[in-house]
A and B are shown apart, each in its own frame.
Chain A
Protein backbone atom coordinates (compact mmCIF):
# COMPACT_ATOMS: atom_id res chain seq x y z
CA UNK A 1 0.00 0.00 0.00
CA UNK A 2 2.65 2.53 -1.02
CA UNK A 3 1.40 5.98 -1.97
CA UNK A 4 1.13 6.86 -5.64
CA UNK A 5 3.81 9.29 -6.82
CA UNK A 6 2.86 12.84 -7.76
CA UNK A 7 5.04 15.92 -8.28
CA UNK A 8 5.11 18.04 -5.15
CA UNK A 9 4.22 21.20 -7.05
CA UNK A 10 3.32 22.54 -10.46
CA UNK A 11 2.59 26.04 -11.65
CA UNK A 12 1.04 27.81 -14.57
CA UNK A 13 -0.26 31.15 -15.71
CA UNK A 14 -3.92 32.05 -16.19
CA UNK A 15 -5.42 30.60 -19.40
CA UNK A 16 -2.56 28.10 -19.74
CA UNK A 17 -2.89 24.32 -19.40
CA UNK A 18 -1.05 22.13 -16.92
CA UNK A 19 -0.80 18.39 -16.39
CA UNK A 20 -0.26 16.56 -13.12
CA UNK A 21 1.09 13.03 -13.29
CA UNK A 22 0.35 10.17 -10.92
CA UNK A 23 2.56 7.10 -11.08
CA UNK A 24 1.61 3.83 -9.48
CA UNK A 25 2.40 0.20 -10.11
CA UNK A 26 0.98 -2.78 -11.94
CA UNK A 27 -0.92 -3.58 -8.72
CA UNK A 28 -2.97 -0.40 -8.72
CA UNK A 29 -3.02 2.20 -11.51
CA UNK A 30 -1.75 -0.26 -14.09
CA UNK A 31 -4.32 -2.94 -13.28
CA UNK A 32 -7.54 -1.00 -12.95
CA UNK A 33 -9.35 1.80 -14.73
CA UNK A 34 -10.46 3.11 -11.34
CA UNK A 35 -8.36 6.23 -10.98
CA UNK A 36 -9.92 9.31 -9.44
CA UNK A 37 -8.74 12.86 -8.82
CA UNK A 38 -9.61 15.28 -6.02
CA UNK A 39 -9.16 18.99 -5.50
CA UNK A 40 -8.64 20.34 -2.00
CA UNK A 41 -8.58 24.00 -1.07
CA UNK A 42 -7.03 24.98 2.28
CA UNK A 43 -9.03 23.85 5.29
CA UNK A 44 -11.68 22.34 3.06
CA UNK A 45 -12.79 18.80 2.37
CA UNK A 46 -11.60 17.21 -0.88
CA UNK A 47 -13.84 17.50 -3.94
CA UNK A 48 -14.12 14.78 -6.58
CA UNK A 49 -13.05 15.99 -10.03
CA UNK A 50 -12.54 12.81 -12.07
CA UNK A 51 -13.40 9.14 -11.58
CA UNK A 52 -12.88 5.99 -13.64
CA UNK A 53 -9.79 7.65 -15.19
CA UNK A 54 -11.64 10.21 -17.30
CA UNK A 55 -15.26 10.64 -16.19
CA UNK A 56 -16.45 13.92 -14.68
CA UNK A 57 -19.16 14.09 -12.02
CA UNK A 58 -22.07 16.37 -12.74
CA UNK A 59 -21.15 19.99 -12.06
CA UNK A 60 -17.40 19.64 -12.59
CA UNK A 61 -16.00 21.94 -15.26
CA UNK A 62 -14.93 20.37 -18.56
CA UNK A 63 -11.62 22.21 -18.09
CA UNK A 64 -10.65 19.18 -16.00
CA UNK A 65 -9.79 15.99 -17.85
CA UNK A 66 -8.11 12.71 -17.00
CA UNK A 67 -6.23 10.00 -18.83
CA UNK A 68 -4.06 6.96 -18.18
CA UNK A 69 -1.22 5.14 -19.85
CA UNK A 70 0.26 2.07 -18.26
CA UNK A 71 1.06 2.73 -14.61
CA UNK A 72 0.70 6.51 -14.92
CA UNK A 73 -2.47 8.57 -14.78
CA UNK A 74 -2.69 12.26 -15.57
CA UNK A 75 -4.95 15.19 -14.75
CA UNK A 76 -5.01 18.09 -17.18
CA UNK A 77 -6.45 21.46 -16.30
CA UNK A 78 -6.99 23.75 -19.26
CA UNK A 79 -7.68 27.47 -19.21
CA UNK A 80 -6.17 27.88 -15.73
CA UNK A 81 -8.05 30.18 -13.40
CA UNK A 82 -7.05 31.70 -10.09
CA UNK A 83 -9.55 29.53 -8.22
CA UNK A 84 -7.80 26.40 -9.50
CA UNK A 85 -4.97 27.10 -7.06
CA UNK A 86 -5.28 24.17 -4.66
CA UNK A 87 -3.87 20.76 -3.79
CA UNK A 88 -4.67 17.87 -6.12
CA UNK A 89 -4.67 14.19 -5.21
CA UNK A 90 -4.91 11.13 -7.38
CA UNK A 91 -6.38 7.92 -6.05
CA UNK A 92 -6.51 4.38 -7.36
CA UNK A 93 -8.31 1.19 -6.51
CA UNK A 94 -5.62 -1.24 -5.39
CA UNK A 95 -7.48 -4.54 -5.29
CA UNK A 96 -9.20 -6.43 -2.44
CA UNK A 97 -11.35 -3.36 -1.77
CA UNK A 98 -8.42 -1.18 -0.76
CA UNK A 99 -7.59 2.28 -2.04
CA UNK A 100 -4.35 4.23 -2.33
CA UNK A 101 -3.87 7.98 -2.69
CA UNK A 102 -1.04 9.96 -4.19
CA UNK A 103 1.07 12.27 -2.07
CA UNK A 104 -0.60 15.37 -3.50
CA UNK A 105 0.44 18.17 -5.82
CA UNK A 106 0.25 21.86 -4.96
CA UNK A 107 -0.85 23.93 -7.96
CA UNK A 108 0.17 27.56 -8.08
CA UNK A 109 -1.50 29.89 -10.56
CA UNK A 110 1.03 32.64 -11.13
Chain B
Protein backbone atom coordinates (compact mmCIF):
# COMPACT_ATOMS: atom_id res chain seq x y z
CA UNK B 1 0.00 0.00 0.00
CA UNK B 2 1.32 3.41 -1.00
CA UNK B 3 1.85 5.67 1.99
CA UNK B 4 3.13 9.22 2.26
CA UNK B 5 3.63 10.66 5.74
CA UNK B 6 4.59 14.30 6.18
CA UNK B 7 6.26 15.70 9.28
CA UNK B 8 8.15 18.76 10.43
CA UNK B 9 5.38 21.32 10.54
CA UNK B 10 4.87 23.70 13.41
CA UNK B 11 4.84 27.30 14.54
CA UNK B 12 7.63 29.56 13.29
CA UNK B 13 8.18 33.30 13.35
CA UNK B 14 8.23 35.38 10.17
CA UNK B 15 11.69 35.22 8.64
CA UNK B 16 12.34 31.83 10.18
CA UNK B 17 13.06 28.46 8.61
CA UNK B 18 11.54 25.01 8.70
CA UNK B 19 12.26 21.70 6.97
CA UNK B 20 9.42 19.40 6.07
CA UNK B 21 9.87 15.69 5.43
CA UNK B 22 7.72 13.19 3.59
CA UNK B 23 8.40 9.50 4.24
CA UNK B 24 7.32 7.26 1.39
CA UNK B 25 6.57 3.56 1.47
CA UNK B 26 4.75 0.90 -0.54
CA UNK B 27 6.29 1.83 -3.90
CA UNK B 28 9.68 2.30 -5.54
CA UNK B 29 10.25 5.89 -4.46
CA UNK B 30 13.29 6.41 -6.70
CA UNK B 31 11.21 5.94 -9.86
CA UNK B 32 8.73 8.74 -9.24
CA UNK B 33 8.72 12.51 -9.52
CA UNK B 34 7.29 14.09 -6.37
CA UNK B 35 5.42 17.31 -5.57
CA UNK B 36 4.64 19.61 -2.67
CA UNK B 37 1.22 21.27 -2.65
CA UNK B 38 -0.09 23.60 0.05
CA UNK B 39 -3.48 24.73 1.28
CA UNK B 40 -3.96 27.80 3.44
CA UNK B 41 -6.70 27.52 6.07
CA UNK B 42 -10.09 27.61 4.35
CA UNK B 43 -8.49 28.18 0.95
CA UNK B 44 -7.73 26.17 -2.18
CA UNK B 45 -4.86 23.99 -3.27
CA UNK B 46 -1.70 25.68 -4.53
CA UNK B 47 1.15 23.88 -6.23
CA UNK B 48 4.52 24.63 -4.62
CA UNK B 49 7.27 22.54 -6.16
CA UNK B 50 8.26 19.31 -7.91
CA UNK B 51 11.39 17.24 -8.23
CA UNK B 52 12.30 14.56 -10.72
CA UNK B 53 13.08 10.98 -9.77
CA UNK B 54 16.80 11.38 -9.04
CA UNK B 55 16.73 14.95 -7.79
CA UNK B 56 18.43 16.45 -10.83
CA UNK B 57 15.64 18.81 -11.83
CA UNK B 58 13.42 20.97 -9.66
CA UNK B 59 10.71 23.54 -10.32
CA UNK B 60 8.98 26.06 -8.09
CA UNK B 61 5.96 28.31 -7.98
CA UNK B 62 6.93 31.97 -8.33
CA UNK B 63 5.66 32.66 -4.80
CA UNK B 64 8.33 30.45 -3.21
CA UNK B 65 11.17 30.62 -5.73
CA UNK B 66 14.44 31.56 -4.04
CA UNK B 67 13.08 30.80 -0.56
CA UNK B 68 12.09 27.12 -0.71
CA UNK B 69 14.23 24.16 -1.79
CA UNK B 70 12.88 20.74 -2.65
CA UNK B 71 15.16 17.74 -2.36
CA UNK B 72 15.05 13.99 -1.86
CA UNK B 73 17.06 11.11 -0.44
CA UNK B 74 16.19 8.01 -2.43
CA UNK B 75 18.20 5.80 -0.06
CA UNK B 76 15.90 6.91 2.75
CA UNK B 77 12.71 7.08 0.63
CA UNK B 78 12.20 10.62 1.84
CA UNK B 79 11.21 13.90 0.21
CA UNK B 80 12.10 17.25 1.79
CA UNK B 81 11.06 20.87 1.58
CA UNK B 82 13.45 23.40 3.10
CA UNK B 83 11.56 26.62 3.73
CA UNK B 84 13.52 29.79 4.47
CA UNK B 85 12.52 33.43 4.92
CA UNK B 86 9.03 32.32 5.86
CA UNK B 87 6.16 34.78 5.58
CA UNK B 88 2.76 34.90 7.22
CA UNK B 89 1.23 34.02 3.86
CA UNK B 90 3.13 30.71 3.83
CA UNK B 91 0.83 29.48 6.61
CA UNK B 92 -0.81 26.33 5.23
CA UNK B 93 -1.13 22.60 5.36
CA UNK B 94 1.66 21.21 3.21
CA UNK B 95 1.01 17.97 1.31
CA UNK B 96 3.48 15.79 -0.49
CA UNK B 97 2.11 13.95 -3.50
CA UNK B 98 3.34 11.33 -5.94
CA UNK B 99 3.44 12.22 -9.61
CA UNK B 100 1.24 10.13 -11.91
CA UNK B 101 3.98 9.21 -14.32
CA UNK B 102 4.03 9.34 -17.35
CA UNK B 103 1.36 12.02 -17.54
CA UNK B 104 2.23 15.60 -16.64
CA UNK B 105 0.89 17.49 -13.66
CA UNK B 106 -1.38 14.89 -12.08
CA UNK B 107 -0.70 13.28 -8.71
CA UNK B 108 -2.18 9.98 -7.65
CA UNK B 109 -1.31 9.63 -3.96
CA UNK B 110 -1.23 12.30 -1.28
CA UNK B 111 -0.13 12.37 2.32
CA UNK B 112 -2.35 13.70 5.09
CA UNK B 113 -0.41 16.94 5.31
CA UNK B 114 1.54 18.84 7.95
CA UNK B 115 0.52 22.27 9.21
CA UNK B 116 2.95 25.17 9.05
CA UNK B 117 1.96 28.30 10.93
CA UNK B 118 4.00 31.46 10.43
CA UNK B 119 3.17 33.97 13.10
CA UNK B 120 4.82 36.27 15.61
**In the complex, are the beta carbons of A99 and B105 less than 8 A apart?**
yes
Known interface pairs A1-B61, A96-B59. Does A101 touch B46 (Cβ–Cβ under 8 Å)?
A: yes
Q: B44–A102 contact, CB under 8 A?
A: yes
Asked if A62 is at the interface of the complex by the 8 Å CB criterion, the answer is: no
Q: Which of the candidate stretches A12-20, A30-38, A69-77, A78-86 sits at the interface with the other chain?
A: A30-38
Q: Do B106 and A91 have beta carbons less than 8 Å apart? A: yes
The answer to the question of A48 belonging to the interface, with a C-beta cut-off of 8 Å to chain B, is yes
Residue in A3, A45, A92, A99 whose Cβ sees the most chain B Cβ within 10 Å: A99
* Distance in angstroms between the alpha carbons of A96 and B52 in the assembled complex: 12
- C-alpha spacing A100/B47, complex, angstroms: 6
CB contacts (< 8 Å) of B104 on chain A: these are: 32, 34, 93, 97
Q: Closest residue to A98 on the B side, CB-wise? A: B59
**Size of A's binding interface in residues, CB under 8 A:** 29
Q: How far is the CA of A99 from the CA of B62 in the complex (A)?
A: 11
Q: B44 touches which one: A52, A93, A104 (CB < 8 A)?
A: A104
By a CB distance below 8 angstroms, the chain B residues around A94 are 105
* A-chain residues with CB within 8 Å of residue B44 when the two chains form the complex: 3, 87, 89, 101-104
Alpha-carbon distance between A98 and B105 when the two chains are bound, in angstroms: 7
In the complex, B107 has a CB within 8 A of chain A:
yes
Give Cα distance in the complex from A37 to B74, angstroms.
29
B interface residues with partner A (beta carbon < 8 Å): 35, 37, 44-47, 50, 57, 59, 61-63, 95, 100, 103-108, 110-113
Known: A91-B105, A94-B105, A102-B44. 20 other contacts (CB 8 A): A1-B63, A3-B44, A32-B105, A34-B103, A34-B105, A36-B100, A36-B105, A45-B111, A45-B112, A45-B113, A52-B103, A52-B106, A57-B100, A91-B45, A91-B47, A91-B106, A99-B105, A101-B45, A103-B44, A104-B44
A-B contact pairs, 21 of them (CB 8 A): A36-B105, A38-B45, A45-B110, A45-B113, A51-B103, A52-B103, A57-B100, A57-B108, A87-B44, A91-B45, A91-B47, A91-B106, A97-B50, A97-B59, A97-B104, A98-B61, A99-B35, A99-B105, A101-B44, A103-B44, A104-B45
